[in-house]
């Protein structure tokens, strides 16, 4: 288990990334490109929280079965909804 110092460092990084998202939105450029950059930063933040705060990095790799199964479930729901339209 990592020490609190590392967790505080991660928190600082997440706050900086949040400010970076807001700053990115104010930059000139196509909204689609800015949106892509912002969503990449958001995904990075979410993955960091899952890996370190939820300790997934230090858990058994087989635990990945559950979130992957959930994501497959989401895809099935989306495809089903798309087909019914």
Partner 1 sequence: MTEDYENTEEHKSTWTPILLAAGIAIVLIGVVIFWPIAVAGGIMVVAALFKLFKDGAEEKFAQAKESLEEKFPLESLNKEKLGIWIFLMSEILIFGSLIIAYVYVRLSSSSWPVATQTHNVILGMTNTIILLTSSLAMVFALHSIRAGNTRGLRIGLFSTFALGATFLIIKLGIEWPQYYRNGFTINSGLPGSTYFVLTGLHALHVGAGLVAVGYLIFRSYNGGFTSTKHSSVENISLYWHFVDIVWMFLFPLFYLI
Q: Does 21 bind partner 1 (CB under 8 A)?
A: yes
Assess 60 for contact with partner 1 (CB under 8 A).
yes
Q: Does 63 bind partner 1 (CB under 8 A)?
A: yes
Report residue 47 CA to chain centroid gap: 4
Q: Is 49 in the site for partner 1 (CB under 8 A)?
A: yes
50 is a contact residue toward partner 1 (CB under 8 A)? yes
| Residue corresponding to tokens 């958001």 | 42
Neighbours of 39 (CB within 10 A): 11
DSSP 55: -
Q: State the minimum distance, in angstroms, from the CB of residue 28 to partner 1.
A: 14
């Amino acid at each position: 288990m990592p020490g609190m110092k590392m967790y505080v460092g991660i928190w600082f990084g997440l706050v900086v990334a949040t400010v970076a998202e807001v700053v990115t939105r104010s930059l000139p450029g196509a909204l689609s490109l800015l949106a892509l950059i912002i969503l990449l930063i958001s995904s990075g933040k979410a993955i960091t929280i899952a890996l370190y705060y939820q300790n997934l990095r230090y858990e058994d790799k087989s635990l990945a079965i559950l979130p992957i199964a959930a994501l497959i479930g989401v895809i099935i729901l989306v495809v089903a909804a798309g087909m019914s339209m």
